[in-house]
Structure 1
Amino acid sequence: MIFRYFYLFPVLFAATLPVTFFITYAIAVSDGDVYPWFPYISDVGTLPPESCVFGQLMNIAALLIMTVVFLRYEQLKTIWGTNNPKKNKVSFALGLLAGIGLSIVANFQVDNVNSVHLIGAALAFLVGGAYFHVQTYISWTLQGVAESTKKLHILRLVICVVYDIFAVIGIVTVIVGYIKLRPTVIRTRAWTPAEEGYAEHVTSTVMEWLGSFLICAYAATFAYEFKNLRLEYAFTTGRSNDSLQSTGNEEP
């Protein structure tokens, strides 16, 4: 038996994340749980009932992106064979950590366990960004991946550069916003134009939303290279000398 629809995993991830954000945003705004003008993504998923939807869909997204990371690792490992380099293993570890971070963000809401939530966010955004950078480097240096064109490599490089710019702007503006807000203490979901530092706060949230969409866009690029992946497997049952066998390869 042959399975050949691996390209659907990055596509599903790229679709699931925005759908999650927009659904939870609509619920949070309709219930009055957040100020509607560009709240943080975490803020639209911190209170029930939107937190229930947020947690469920984000966990699905985490599973999807970790599947993509595993498939990419195995694809490159098949190409390199016994010479599987350290950069592929490091990239695999970074990708799994990013997926775990996404799950942490889903399950530890910012209003409930803020410190753990921030750790998850750092893994998802910063370690996830590092994963995409390593993959971009691999794309430019590796030959023999079907459907891996120069245009695709350039697209990945552009996404990484823009993502870095957004990340720096977002980090700087959130720090400046909190400095201006002092000594007032409010929850970010209730931050309005009436408080100091609001302009910097909105700039930071916009960068977060745009950065998230870039993550989706980058993940979607793997769909092109997964179109030629095939998994051949066979099930056998019976006595103890029978076994479950699976093989994987990539057709050019």
Structure 2
Amino acid sequence: MWLWALLPVCLSVFGTVGIWTVFGIAVSNGSVNLTEGFPYISKCGTYNPQSCLFSQICNICAFLALWVVVIRFQQIRDFGYHGKANKISIVLGFISTFGISILGNFQQSVIMGVHLLGAFLAFFIGLAYFWVQLFLTYRTEPSQHKHWVGPARATGCTICTILVIIMSVLHNTGYRSWAAIGEWVLVMLFFFLFGLFAAEFKHIDYHHLIVQKQALSNCKDSEPVEMNGHMA
């Protein structure tokens, strides 16, 4: 069903347009100065009035992402996979979406420690979630698009992991403008990885009928028996 496939697409499009809108407002009103270096996303969203918009964008993205996480968990379970990886994925998904909400509502200019905690949960735990999803891509159905979804997801996860490492090094060595650019690319890739779920979600209209053994036994026990030419 294409209706479900639109959910991750809407998340990706809304999130991308939203944070770049915040960037545009921050540049236009002088909250950030591009001549001094490229700003972090959080810096763009820490000043009024765009801070209010940034908070709402993060909250909506967190809600949509949580919805995607839950649906993906249920989809994998409905297709017969009951391993620990799926349970781990929903826990990681819950934590990372909570982190998105935290970093959006606790701006770095207000409570830096809480903001950094939210960023850690959103980026690091979120990246772990996508690595688990890569594993599940090759372990569960539907597999109609596995030939391209798997490599695309693997490429995205690999680049994100490399970016996280490079960002940390650049930030700690004083190249914060380059680290900020890496952060923007990282977030765009996260939205890309969320958007890939559209390929799996369009198969949600498939249904499986499961008949329990106990119910089947009861049906057999209640079958009519012919006695003296009559059905009893």
Q: Please report the TM-score for the alignment, with normalisation by the length of structure 1.
A: 0.78
Gaps of 5+ in 1: 178-199, 231-247
Partner SS for 1:153: helix
Q: Which amino acid letter does the alignment assign opposite residue 134 of structure 2?
A: T
After superposition, the Cα gap between the structure-2 partners of 1:8 and 1:51, relative to the gap in structure 1 and judged at 3 Å, is same
**Could you say which structure has the higher helix fraction?**
2
Instruction: Give the match for residue 197 of structure 2.
Output: 222
Instruction: Give the match for residue 230 of structure 2.
Output: none
After superposition, the Cα gap between the structure-2 partners of 1:66 and 1:250, relative to the gap in structure 1 and judged at 3 Å, is farther
After superposition, the Cα gap between the structure-2 partners of 1:135 and 1:250, relative to the gap in structure 1 and judged at 3 Å, is farther
Q: CA deviation at 1:212?
A: 0.3
Identity among equivalent positions (%) equals 34
After superposition, the Cα gap between the structure-2 partners of 1:107 and 1:249, relative to the gap in structure 1 and judged at 3 Å, is farther
Q: CA deviation at 1:64?
A: 0.5
After superposition, the Cα gap between the structure-2 partners of 1:126 and 1:250, relative to the gap in structure 1 and judged at 3 Å, is farther
Q: CA deviation at 1:35?
A: 2.1
2:177 aligned to which of 202, 207, 214:
202
Instruction: Give the match for residue 134 of structure 1.
Output: 132
Q: CA deviation at 1:84?
A: 1.4
Instruction: Give the match for residue 159 of structure 1.
Output: 156
Instruction: Give the match for residue 234 of structure 1.
Output: none
Instruction: Give the match for residue 169 of structure 1.
Output: 166
CA distance in 2, matches of 1:135, 1:119: 23
Q: CA deviation at 1:159?
A: 0.6
Q: What is the total number of aligned residue pairs between the two structures? A: 207
Q: Which amino acid letter does the alignment assign opposite residue 219 of structure 1?
A: F
- Asked if residue 145 in structure 1 is aligned to residue 120 in structure 2, the reply is no
Partner SS for 1:214: helix
- Asked if residue 96 in structure 1 is aligned to residue 94 in structure 2, the reply is yes
Deviation sequence 1:133-183 (CA, Å, 0-9, x none): 0000111233x3153321110110011111111111001111111xxxxxx
Instruction: Give the match for residue 226 of structure 2.
Output: none
Instruction: Give the match for residue 45 of structure 2.
Output: 45
Q: Which amino acid letter does the alignment assign opposite residue 117 of structure 1?
A: H
CA distance in 2, matches of 1:19, 1:121: 20
Give the root-mean-square deviation of aligned CA atoms. 1.7
Partner SS for 1:141: coil
Instruction: Give the match for residue 114 of structure 2.
Output: 116
**Cα pair 1:228 1:250 within 8 Å, conserved:** no
CA distance in 2, matches of 1:14, 1:115: 27
Gaps of 5+ in 2: 210-232
**Cα pair 2:19 2:57 within 8 Å, conserved:** no
Q: CA deviation at 1:4?
A: 6.0
